Each structure stands twice: as structure tokens, then as C-alpha cells.
Amino acid sequence: MRKLLLLIVTILLLCGSSKAQSFEIRDGAFMLNGKPMRIYGGEMHYARIPREYWQHRIQMAKAMGCNTLSIYVMWNYHQPAPDKWDWSSDNHDLRAFVELVKAEGMYIVLRPGPYVCAEWDFGGFPYWLVNQKLRSNDKTYLDSCRVYLQQVFKQVDGLFIEQGGNIIMTQVENEYGSFSFDMQFKLSHKNRKEYLENLAAIFREVGFKNTLFTCDGGIVPVVNFARLGHIKGLFPGTNDSKFLSVAHHTVRKFYNKKGPYYIPEEYAGWFTHWGDAHVFHRDVEKYKKHIEELLKTDFSFCYYMVHGGTNFGFWSGTNHRAKNDVWPVITSYDYGAPIDEAGNRTPLYDSLRAVYQRQTGEKLADVPAPVPSMGIGQIDLKVSLSFWGAREYVFSPFIRRTPGSFEQFKVRDGYMLFEKFFDQEKSGKLSTSGLTDYTLIYIKDSLISTIDRNRPSGEVPAFVSLNIPKGSMLRILIENEGRINFGKHLWSNDKGPINGIRIGGKLEGDDWMITDISPENITAATRWISKETSLKHWLQIYHADQPILYSGEFHLTDTADTYLDMHGFGKGFVMVNGHNLGRYWEIGPQFSLYVPGVWLKKGENEIVIFDQLNHKQMHSISATAKPVNR
């Protein structure tokens, strides 16, 4: 009997904790359970944070004054292949993240796209959509969106505020006004408007019944992007508090003429490209004063980002600029945010927290203790292998094939190697058109040319002169530096030799060996070869300017966050205990890679480095307690 009573009490408590609430827009305000609510939000992406650190980052945001977290859902992160979905492994568990936020007494603004931008590969789109008419009223594309949104809704069903959860609003599309403006000569106005209307209808059809809104950049009223990115019935949000007058104008013109006013992206920082002069940092004093004034208004807003995290793996995107085909974003998504890449408070954090407390009079939760960090010192790289040799023994290439794009070979990211043996001498000009992105060309193992589409000057040669001796191998190694994530060039996102490989104007057809170079294969190669003593000795003969594999082991008696100092290395990526830390590049301004302590272990740890440039032989690498940037 006592057990039965205990069970009944437990059930009642659980039901009480999930009591349905209400969120609506009424009388010019956001209303939570019938009372005005002001959103003090922070953007945070669970996909950029190790799952073990989710709670710490959420608590950090709460202690800064945030009552809400805004989160993007990246479609391609959850659908790695057309027939595969992942909503549970590691940090893919959207539902668990939302529930953690609820446990901290905070709310969620859900932003599932389908397009998200976010300096994320392809703006969140899966790579196999590359030839669809994205963000248009095309039926094939909208059908793909429906399947994706059905999947998202399944994950969050039961978590909306009306169901006793904590999701208060859902965003439809993302900054469509700017894309619509870019595409005005490719898509009709009717097509663009009908796309947004049909997409909003799909959101409602699959189950999103809560408050829906749009989000657009603010310029000035005469070219307000909301004019192109908003549809009737959805609340319009306007980014960037530098344009408060635009936000007022937007709501008055497109909504109810009296508010509320919401800034979905109040830029607390900004992203950084490879080759930038330095990583982004805010003028703390100036920005503090700006937020102080914003808090005096009736605006709700969300810091983008409150915590940026890391573009682990190959998830960082690229932008496009007039002089260059690609302008890749660095691995760190620190963003100059109040909470840094590793979850530490910054001077900006302390300033914004103090301003919030002073303006609102609210007593905030204590700031969580920082996650420990440490230096490791020198890690010996005991094995260095010629990649050409490792490829021959371990990788399984596509044989006697015609070169094509990454997408044709169903390769999402990373690298592809194209090799052809010439039994007769051949000379001619190799066309560089369509060789995207970063391309290295070799004849008889010697580096002949580098095609870097991120050159500040934008000068990429149209041709490379080749003189291939009889009995020689031509090798073309192509890196996908990330698909474009913003603007009209979303429609031009194929990677690899998208026009084939042409020498002297003629297409070099079949008889190629084509290899998908995945991080998993790289790690497997170094593990296998390191055990084969005779092979290891032969493959360790050093050749400068050829791709190289390094591996090593290091012993730890304790674990903590750390940063690998990549000075001396050229360009490539690093794996630690099977985790891809992301890309590094000697041009900076990022010179270290963040290693979460939860990915390390007491005892033996493994490091694998792939360096595609290999200017000089490296025998060791060190790890520091703080990031190394310019």
C-alpha cells in the first residue's frame, strides 16, 4: 500500500511539473501564462558542443541573465545519408538538449530552418540536395523539406509550452529576405512568396501549432528585407539592434502596428575566416553601453552567439566574395561571444551580466565553475607515413572511373584523390575551371601547382601547364573546404572536378583511380601500418611537399580541456581518440585546435594528423592551456 501511494504521489508530481502553459502575442506583447514576457535570449548550438558540456553551457547562459535559448537545428547533421537519420548519438540528441534547458527553468526558441546559414556547411542542407532548387517553390525541394520537418517534429512533440514543455516559438526559414533579394532575377516574386507560404503550411501540417515567426536582417525601411522575407500571419523578427527603427517599422507595417519587438540575432560577436587579420573580438566597453541602452527599451532580443562552440569535423561553412569562389570559416566558432569556445566567462560576459543585474534588479544564479584546462607539453609523433604509400596499401579506390564531383561519388566532405597513370608522354594545359576547392597537383610525386581559391587577390590561374613523362602518375588531391552557406551561391555548391579533368581542352575520361579520403580511413591506415614493421620502415622515408600522416600516443594521469598548437604544420585536420577536431591552416588567424577534456582519457591517448602541405617534417606537437590565435 505504501509503495502504491508513493507511486501515485510521484506521478502527480511529474504531471504537475509538466502542466500545460500558454504563450501568445497579445496587446502588443509576448504573453506567458497571461502575463507580459520579455525574452532575454542567447543563441547556442548543441551540435557545436560536446554533449557532456551541454548543462554547463546552459547554466553559464542562465547566470548571464538569459531566460531563453535560441537553437538552430542543422538538417545535414541529423541526416548524414538519404536513408539514415541520427537523433540520438553523442550530441545529436535534440530532445535531450531541450529537456536540459527546461530543467534549468529556461525556454526555447526553435529554429529548424530548413535553411539556417550559421556559417555551417551548406547552411544546414544535406549535400545530395545540391542540384535541387533550394529555397524556392520547387515541389521536389518542398517534398524534401516536409520529410525533414516531420522528423524534427517527432523529436520535439510534447516539448511545446502548450504541452507542458518549454518551446515558446518556432522560426520558419531564415533570413529569406536577403536571399529573395539576391535571387530576384532568377526566381519570380510570385515563386518566392508562394515558397514561404507553402513552407509555413508544411510547418503547420506536420504539427507545429505554436507561435511561428520569420527572421530577417535590418537595413533601412526602404529596403527592409522583411518586405521579401515575411508572410501574413507570421510574426516578423528583425536582426541587429543597430536597426531598431527598422524593427519598429517592420512590425507596424507587416504585423499589428503595436509590437512586440524581437531581435532574433543581436550580434554579440562575429565569425572569422581563414586568412583574416585576427579573430573577432568586441570592444567590451562600447558594447556594454549599447546593451545598456537596449535594455531600457521594450525590445526582446537574443545574443548571437551567447556561446559559439566549435566547428568540429568538417562542419564549418564558407562564404563567397567577389574575388574568390570560397571564403572558408575557421574551425573555432568562438565568435567573440560572452562565453568563449571552451565555455569560459570572458570580460564581455562579466560586463553584460553586471549590466543586466543593474538594469533589472534581478539576482542571478552564481556563475558555474570553469571547466579545467591544462597544457600537456610535448607529444612525440613516432610514426610519419607517406600518404601515397598508405593509400596504396590501405584505401580502396574506385578503379577505372571517370572523374566527377564529390556529390556524384556520394562523398559529403573531406578530400578526394584522382590518379591516372600515363603510359605515353603527354603535355598540355590543365584547365582549373571547376576544380574546387583547394587543389594540389603532382607529377611523379612532385608538387607542380596549388590552386587556392581563398587567395586575397582572387587570382586563380585559368590553366596549369603539364609535362607528363612516359610512365608517370598524375595525382590531383582536392579538398572540400566547406559548402557555401549564404546567398545566391547556395545554388552553386558542387565540389571536386565538377567540369571533369581537361588537358589541352580534351576531357581525360576513364582509367582513373579515385579515392575518398575520410578521417575514419586515415585513422585506420595509421593504426594498421604502425603494426606492420616492414611496411612502416619503407613508408617512413620522408618526402617534403607530399601529403603525410603522423601518429603518436601520449599518456595522461588526469584529463582536462587543452589546445593543440599547430605551429609548424601546413594544412589539414587532426583526430584525437577517434574524434575529428577539425581543420587547421598555417595562414591563421587560428593556430590551435580545441580538445575537449571529455574526449581524453586517463592512460594512453591517440593522435593522428593529416597534413596535405607538409612543408617540413614534424617530430612532435605540444598542447597548451589556452588557445593560440592572432
Over range 178-191, report the average pLDDT: 90
Q: What is the pLDDT of residue 228?
A: 87
How far is Cα 350 from Cα 269, in angstroms, rounded to an integer?
15
Q: What single letter denotes the amino acid at residue 4?
A: L
Locate 251 and state its grid cell: 512590425
The model's pLDDT over 355-375, given as tens digits with 9 standing for 90+, comes to: 999 999 999 999 999 999 999
R_g of the chain, CA atoms, integer Å: 26
Evaluated on CA atoms 392, 398, 401, 402, the torsion sign reads negative
The model's pLDDT over 378-434, given as tens digits with 9 standing for 90+, comes to: 999 987 888 887 777 767 788 888 999 999 999 999 999 999 999 999 999 999 998
Q: What is the pLDDT of residue 20?
A: 83
Q: Smallest Cα–Cα separation from 346: which of 626, 563, 559? A: 626
Q: Smallest Cα–Cα separation from 75: which of 151, 126, 141? A: 126
Listed in sequence order, the DSSP H helices in 361-492 are 387-394
Q: What is the pLDDT of residue 280?
A: 96
Evaluate whether 37-360 and 377-384+519-624 have a shared fold.
Answer: no
Q: Smallest Cα–Cα separation from 562: which of 335, 341, 350, 346? A: 341
Q: What is the pLDDT of residue 324?
A: 66
Tell me the residue ranges of DSSP E strands in 119-261.
167-171, 211-217, 235-239
Evaluated on CA atoms 359, 363, 364, 368, the torsion sign reads positive
CB 127 within 8 A of CB 76: yes
pLDDT over 90 percentage in the chain:
78
How far is Cα 64 from Cα 160, in angstroms, rounded to an integer?
24
Three-state SS sequence of 30-56:
EEECCEEECCEEEEECHHHCCHHHHHH
Task: Give the chain's length.
Answer: 630
Q: Tell me the pLDDT band of 172, cut-offs 50, 70 and 90.
A: very high
Locate 98 and state its grid cell: 531541450
CB 92 within 8 A of CB 143: no
Locate 417 and state its grid cell: 584523390
Over range 64-74, report the average pLDDT: 98
Residue 544 scores a pLDDT above 60: yes
How far is Cα 547 from Cα 45, in angstroms, rounded to an integer?
33
The model's pLDDT over 34-63, given as tens digits with 9 standing for 90+, comes to: 999 999 999 999 999 999 999 999 999 999
Three-state SS sequence of 475-518:
EEEEEECCCECCCHHHHCCCCEECCCCEECCEECCCCEEEEEEC
Pairing of strands 300-307, 40-44: parallel
Q: What is the pLDDT of residue 531?
A: 67
CB 232 within 8 A of CB 265: no
CB 87 within 8 A of CB 443: no
Mean pLDDT for the chain overall? 91
Q: What is the pLDDT of residue 2?
A: 43
For residue 12, give the H/E element and its range.
Answer: helix 2-17
Domain 377-384+519-624 belongs in CATH node 3.40.50.970: no
Over range 551-580, report the average pLDDT: 96
Tell me the residue ranges of DSSP E strands in 329-425.
377-380, 383-386, 398-401, 414-422
Peptide bond into 305 cis (omega under 30): yes
Residue 536 scores a pLDDT above 90: no
Q: What is the pLDDT of residue 3?
A: 44
Q: What is the pLDDT of residue 15?
A: 42
pLDDT over 70 percentage in the chain:
93
Locate 553 and state its grid cell: 600516443
- List the domain boundaries for the chain: 37-360, 377-384+519-624, 403-509
Residue 477 scores a pLDDT above 90: yes
Q: What is the pLDDT of residue 144?
A: 98
Q: Tell me the pLDDT band of 244, cut-offs 50, 70 and 90.
A: confident
Q: What is the pLDDT of residue 16?
A: 42
Q: What is the pLDDT of residue 567?
A: 98
Q: Smallest Cα–Cα separation from 365: which of 107, 108, 58, 33? A: 58
CATH class as words, domain 403-509: mainly beta
Q: What is the pLDDT of residue 243?
A: 76
Q: What is the pLDDT of residue 409?
A: 93
Q: Smallest Cα–Cα separation from 412: which of 13, 77, 55, 140? A: 77
For residue 521, give the H/E element and its range.
Answer: helix 519-531
Classify domain 37-360 by CATH number: 3.20.20.80
Q: What is the pLDDT of residue 184?
A: 86
Comparing 61-65, 135-139, 387-391, 604-608, which segment has the lowest mean pLDDT? 387-391
Q: What single letter denotes the amino acid at residue 288?
A: K
- Residue with the larger pLDDT of the pair 388 and 529: 388
Q: What is the pLDDT of residue 1?
A: 42
Total Cβ atoms within 10 A of residue 342: 24
Over range 136-163, report the average pLDDT: 98
The model's pLDDT over 481-525, given as tens digits with 9 standing for 90+, comes to: 999 999 999 998 999 999 999 999 999 988 999 999 888 777 777
How far is Cα 264 from Cα 252, in angstroms, rounded to an integer?
17
Pairing of strands 398-401, 512-517: antiparallel
How far is Cα 275 from Cα 288, in angstroms, rounded to an integer?
29
At residue 503, what are phi and psi to the nearest 5 degrees?
A: -125, 125
Q: Tell me the pLDDT band of 332, cut-offs 50, 70 and 90.
A: very high
Over range 215-233, report the average pLDDT: 76
Residues 6 or more apart in contact with residue 9 via CB below 8 angstroms? none
The model's pLDDT over 438-472, given as tens digits with 9 standing for 90+, comes to: 999 999 989 999 999 887 666 788 999 999 999 99
How far is Cα 383 from Cα 333, in angstroms, rounded to an integer?
31
How far is Cα 125 from Cα 79, in angstroms, rounded to an integer?
9
Q: Smallest Cα–Cα separation from 349: which of 362, 336, 363, 333? A: 336
